[in-house]
Amino acid sequence: MTQKVLITYGDGYGPAVIRAAETVLKTVSPGTEIIHGKIGADAYENTGYALPAETMEAVAECDAMISGPVVMDGIAERNPISTIKKQMELYMEYGEFYSLCDYIGTKGIDTILLSPTIESSLNVFETESLDGVASEYYTSIDNISKIFAKSVQIAEKKRRTEICMVSDNVLYPAREKLIRSTFHKYYADTEFEVRDISTKIAMFDLAHDPSSMSTIISDIHSATCMWGEVTGLVGGSGLMPKAYIGDRKALYMPSEVYPHDAVGRELNPTSAILSVGVMMLNFGNESAYNLVLGAIRDMYRMGRTTPDVGGKLNAEKFAEGVSSLILSEINSE
């Protein structure tokens, strides 16, 4: 079955890195049907909407979406990425973290991090008064259950043997109880080794031994800390793949580039290209996933990288190098 993928370049550095990812996608999976749409400030300037109706229609008909970041400065609309996550019913944020080469990051780390998307699992109602702000949280048990059911599938697909639940929402003990009881329900009859620990213990264990956690499921209130921790361990932001996953569709994006990281990191297409690999894996094409990851690692090993990691290539030339290595591997089989 041919998959249909919607590509939106987004704003800022988005077009450079997403076009690089598109180049690799066409190489590793030439049969994939690609359609294009507009999103963000670029779409607003051309149509008057940050998320035009045509793009929404394309979202509905595609199997997956690849998008660059959007810039909403001065645009009085909801962030279109949040709207898309709602429409596509994407309830899980997915990230992979591993060392790309000997000279970047910490050796031994090979971690999958899963966490709920705010759009699907948590509704917040705030009421302002003269005395302060009252906040009310609503947690959907159905979406929490989906997250744990999907996490079992992902862990099995990635051949993991251990699952670590990280959560310590002391402000909302009832939510904490719900999260933990649902987690143990879904893993009770599996063969996975299960750990259930607090955020501070998880961060200590990872810093002490980066190989100690192969799969982490983190609740929203712990997720920010865990994403920051593993991002630092792999050598910085903007290098690893990222996805938002639902039952039928998924959105793939370059991971966030943190302020004060390496100069020019935002123009490094590694994250966007690796996200294409994850998309291939979720389409059931493990061979394509391995080809993308292997080619990226070879490029880094040879020093054929972008300037932020010591090389001299721009995003386009880096993607061409990755594609060339993939084709060489395919032709040698």
**Secondary structure string (H, E, C) spanning 60-100:** HHCCEEEECCCCCCCCCCCCHHHHHHHHCCEEEEEEEEECC
- pTM of the predicted structure, to 2 decimals: 0.93
Cα–Cα dist 8/194, whole Å:
39
- CATH 3.40.50.2300 assigned to domain 1-93+237-333? The reply is no
- CATH 3.50.30.30 assigned to domain 106-233? The reply is no
88-to-29, 60, 244 alpha-carbon distances in Å = 23, 8, 10
- Helix then strand then coil, in percent of the chain rounded to 5, is 45, 20, 30
From first to last of its 333 residues, the chain has per-residue pLDDT tens of: 789 999 999 999 999 999 999 999 999 999 999 999 999 998 999 999 999 999 999 999 999 999 999 998 888 888 999 999 989 999 999 999 999 999 999 989 999 999 988 877 667 778 888 888 887 777 777 888 898 999 999 999 999 999 999 988 677 788 888 888 889 988 988 899 999 999 999 999 999 999 999 999 998 888 999 999 999 999 999 999 999 999 999 999 999 998 877 788 999 999 999 999 999 999 999 999 999 999 999 999 999 999 999 999 999 999 999 999 999 999 987
* pLDDT of amino acid 40: 94
* pLDDT of amino acid 121: 64
Q: Can you state the angle between helices 315-332 and 286-301, rounded to 10 degrees? A: 120
Cα–Cα dist 10/254, whole Å:
11
Strand positions, DSSP E, the chain? 4-8, 33-37, 64-67, 90-98, 110-116, 122-129, 132-139, 162-166, 193-197, 215-218, 241-246, 250-254
Residue 170 neighbours by CB distance under 10 Å? 8
Tally of CA atoms within 13 A in the half-sphere of 316 that contains its CB = 2
Bridge partners for 162 per DSSP: 193
Q: How do the domains of the chain map onto residue ranges?
A: 1-93+237-333, 106-233
CA angle, corner 237, sides to 148 and 239, nearest 5? 80
Cα–Cα dist 16/149, whole Å:
36
Q: Do domains 1-93+237-333 and 106-233 have the same CATH topology?
A: yes
Sheet of 215-218: strand order equals 33-37, 4-8, 64-67, 250-254, 241-246, 90-98, 110-116, 215-218, 162-166, 193-197
Q: How far is CA 122 from the centre of its chain?
A: 19
186-198 b/e (C-beta count within 10 Å ≥ 16 → b) = bbeeeebeebebe
Q: Nearest-CA neighbor of 144 among 118, 175, 112, 121?
A: 121
Cα–Cα dist 182/174, whole Å:
12
Q: Can you state the angle between helices 14-28 and 286-301, rounded to 10 degrees? A: 120
